[in-house]
Structure 1
Amino acid sequence: MGYDIERFVGYVNEGLLCCICQGVLKDPLQAPCEHAFCASCIHGWLVYHSNCPEDRQTLNMSMLRPLYRYMRNDLNRLQLHCRNGERGCEMVCSLESVEQHERECEYGWISCTNTGCPVQVERRNLSGHLAACELRSQECPKGCGYTVFNSEDMQHNCIAELRSELVMLRVEMVYRMEKAAREMSSRLDSHRQHMVQKESLLQNEVVELKVLHSSST
């Protein structure tokens, strides 16, 4: 579906309207007969038809092309209101930049970032919701440093959590020490093999020198 023409400021050329939904073109495509459509509109049409919905000339997916450049430029320059205008946003911007604005609009809906919270609020109100959200996380008020949720405050056991944390730290420390020991052992084995090879080469050189010396005498 195209953009609602009521959102636009000023006159919109009929050539920039979708022949199917009559909205302002969104992701426009053009047929060889020069009729233009929103991509989603014409794709839906061609599932059940094999012609242009405007003049009935033969049409299929492979025949669709991007809108002429001059028409794309005219389309991108159109001015329209943010879709969040009903909630208070007064921004008017070009069609080319409206999606970027709406992704960041302070009046747009956004989901709470706390895991498991289904609430959606306007972006400008998110910080206030997060401060009061029942599923927000926070450090234990008793000072153990463990992160808890409000609903878990009564069940939280600092000593048990600290013991669990201590066990995890010990396991991690043992793992790291064993890993370091294996790496050191591997390096020593590699160094030992290198020294053995070097010693063997030196012994061969000594033998060769003795042979040369005995043959020269």
Structure 2
Amino acid sequence: MGYDIERFVGYVNEGLLCCICRDVLENPLQAPCEHAFCSTCIHGWLVHHHNCPEDRQSLDVSVLRPLFRYMKNDLNRLQIRCRNREHGCDMVCSLESVDRHERECEYSQIPCINASCPILVERRNLEAHLAVCEYRSRECPNGCGYIILSADDAQHNCIAELRTELELLRSEMICKVEEVKHEMESRLDSQRRHMVQKESLLKNEVEELKSQMSRVMSDIRTLLAAERLHRQELEQAELEKRELMELLQSFQRDIRMEGGGRKAVGSRTLTRLDSMKRKPREVTVI
């Protein structure tokens, strides 16, 4: 719907009237046939019709365009009275600025800011109304800290209110304690399962280390036994070496001392060598 033509001061051009509601254009749109309409009016019309309401030419919402600039300028320059004129406002301003004025007009009817209050008051009288509004709230004068409505002054009981608050706090605390308890139990169960798994893994690792240690000790004992055997063989070989050296030295002395009796000396020496070959090696393995 457009602006009521009765609100305007002076002459209003016919071309600035909506072809549907016949009021002054509000948020205007223009058809290709140059007929102009209020945005709300033409959208409502095209829901049930598909033509221009003025000349019946085919019309679709997609072809609607903003008003020509010169027409828009003429529209904005129109002088209009404030809608709060019946409440005492005498303001007359351009159509372009009327919305801004009405948002701030002291004669505008606005709702009381107190919750549940159904009264509409003029903006200029809002402070006076708030001072006496039965839905106004204030802090309890007895010091309990509660915000009470003026209508509830007679029913307000500080002790009862504080007792109710205490019960609510107790209930909330119990709920929180239970939540924390459940959370801690859940964490402990999780930690317990983790520790059991860790203990099992550690036991397996310890058993594996024991097995490895047993194999290493067995290998060490085998190596020690082999080393003792090798040492004994070396000692035996060293002993035989010394005997051979003594025998050789003895053989050389016999040759020098006995001169012509070389066959007898050689015979004795061969006999000793043969006895050494036949001598069994005794090795003790621990």
Q: Normalising by the residue count of structure 1, what TM-score does the alignment of the two structures yield?
A: 0.74
Which residue in 1 is equivalent to 2:139? Answer: 139
Residue 37 of structure 2 corresponds to residue 25 of structure 1: no
Which residue in 1 is equivalent to 2:130? Answer: 130
Amino acid in structure 1 at the alignment position of 2:64? R
Which residue in 1 is equivalent to 2:65? Answer: 66
Report the more deviating stretch, 162-171 or 66-75.
Answer: 66-75
Which residue in 1 is equivalent to 2:2? Answer: 2
Report the more deviating stretch, 203-212 or 23-32.
Answer: 203-212
Q: What is the aligned length?
A: 215
Structure 2 unaligned residues grouped into runs of 5+: 220-286
Cα distance between partner residues in 2 of 1:181 and 1:72 = 74
Cα distance between partner residues in 2 of 1:111 and 1:136 = 13
- State the shift of 1:201 in Å: 3.8
Structure 1 pair 136–17 and aligned structure 2 pair: CA distance change class (3 A) = same
Structure 1 pair 130–73 and aligned structure 2 pair: CA distance change class (3 A) = same
Residue 144 of structure 2 corresponds to residue 174 of structure 1: no
Structure 1 pair 214–134 and aligned structure 2 pair: CA distance change class (3 A) = same
Greater relative contact order (CA < 8 Å, ≥ 6 in sequence): 1
- State the shift of 1:133 in Å: 0.1
Aligned residue runs from structure 1 range 46-57, under 5 A? 46=46, 49-57=49-57
Structure 1 pair 214–39 and aligned structure 2 pair: CA distance change class (3 A) = farther
Amino acid in structure 1 at the alignment position of 2:114? N
Cα distance between partner residues in 1 of 2:171 and 2:109 = 44
Aligned residue runs from structure 1 range 154-169, under 5 A? 154-169=154-169
Structure 1 pair 208–154 and aligned structure 2 pair: CA distance change class (3 A) = same
Structure 1 pair 178–31 and aligned structure 2 pair: CA distance change class (3 A) = same
Cα distance between partner residues in 1 of 2:3 and 2:138 = 43
Query: Is the Cα contact below 8 Å between 1:8 and 1:78 reproduced in 2?
Result: no
Query: Is the Cα contact below 8 Å between 1:16 and 1:24 reproduced in 2?
Result: yes
Question: Percentage identity across aligned positions?
Answer: 58
Cα distance between partner residues in 2 of 1:149 and 1:23 = 46
Structure 1 pair 82–10 and aligned structure 2 pair: CA distance change class (3 A) = closer
Cα distance between partner residues in 2 of 1:91 and 1:214 = 109
Amino acid in structure 1 at the alignment position of 2:138? Q
Structure 1 pair 22–155 and aligned structure 2 pair: CA distance change class (3 A) = same
Query: Is the Cα contact below 8 Å between 1:32 and 1:63 reproduced in 2?
Result: no
Q: Normalising by the residue count of structure 2, what TM-score does the alignment of the two structures yield?
A: 0.59
Query: Is the Cα contact below 8 Å between 2:2 and 2:25 reproduced in 1?
Result: yes
Structure 1 pair 141–52 and aligned structure 2 pair: CA distance change class (3 A) = same
